């Protein structure tokens, strides 16, 4: 089971690499007005979202669920795991929102400013701190 946990963390890092980098690309994309840069950002955003971020999310969650099911009696009634799973659920919604925003940029219908994306880029930090704190410190 330790190999499962090891790869759970490896793919979690992959997922967060995308969660931190994609909104940063959105910041620069929202500031761009030349066609070459705009087309380059569209390609980078699509490859990052579908090639790295989404596989990272899917494998992190599948390996996490594997450990959860194996240790169900241990994890099912501990508050730290409940808080972790609710926070991961919100993180999945944030991930899907990133996908929708990438589509808006693809079809040149983005409606947010680069300042808005700078704040949007900070959100995953809070998720990472809460999830890792719950899983490692287990305060409840």
Binding site residues, ligand HEM, CB under 6 A:
5, 8-9, 12, 60-61, 64-65, 67-68, 71, 75, 85, 88, 128, 131-132, 135-136
Please provide the size of the chain in residues.
Answer: 140
Report in angstroms how near the CB of residue 111 gets to ligand HEM at its nearest.
29
CA 76/CA 106 separation, integer angstroms? 41
CA 21/CA 121 separation, integer angstroms? 8
Instruction: Report the b/e string of 85-100 with b at 16+ CB within 10 A.
Output: eebbeebeeebeebee
Q: Which is nearer to ligand HEM, 37 or 70 (CB)?
A: 70
Report in angstroms how near the CB of residue 87 gets to ligand HEM at its nearest.
8
Q: Which is nearer to ligand HEM, 12 or 30 (CB)?
A: 12
Q: In the complex, which residue's CB is closest to ligand HEM?
A: 64
CA 4/CA 92 separation, integer angstroms? 21
Between the CA of residue 54 and those of 9, 16, 95, 119, 126, what are the distances in Å? 15, 10, 8, 22, 20
Report in angstroms how near the CB of residue 65 gets to ligand HEM at its nearest.
5
Report in angstroms how near the CB of residue 81 gets to ligand HEM at its nearest.
7
Q: Which is nearer to ligand HEM, 50 or 72 (CB)?
A: 72
Q: Which is nearer to ligand HEM, 110 or 135 (CB)?
A: 135
């Amino acid at each position: 089971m330790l190999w499962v946990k090891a790869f759970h963390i490896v793919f979690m890092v992959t997922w967060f690499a995308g969660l931190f980098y994609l909104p940063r690309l959105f910041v620069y994309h929202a500031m761009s007005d030349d066609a070459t840069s705009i087309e380059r950002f569209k390609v980078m955003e699509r490859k990052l979202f579908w090639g790295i971020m989404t596989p990272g999310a899917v494998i992190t969650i599948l390996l996490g669920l594997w450990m959860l099911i194996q240790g169900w009696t241990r994890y099912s009634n501990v508050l730290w795991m409940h808080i972790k799973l609710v926070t991961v659920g919100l993180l999945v919604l944030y991930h899907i929102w990133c996908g929708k925003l990438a589509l808006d940029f693809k079809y040149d219908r983005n409606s947010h400013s680069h300042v808005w994306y700078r704040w949007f880029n900070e959100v995953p930090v809070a998720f990472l701190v809460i999830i890792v704190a719950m899983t490692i410190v287990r305060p409840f």
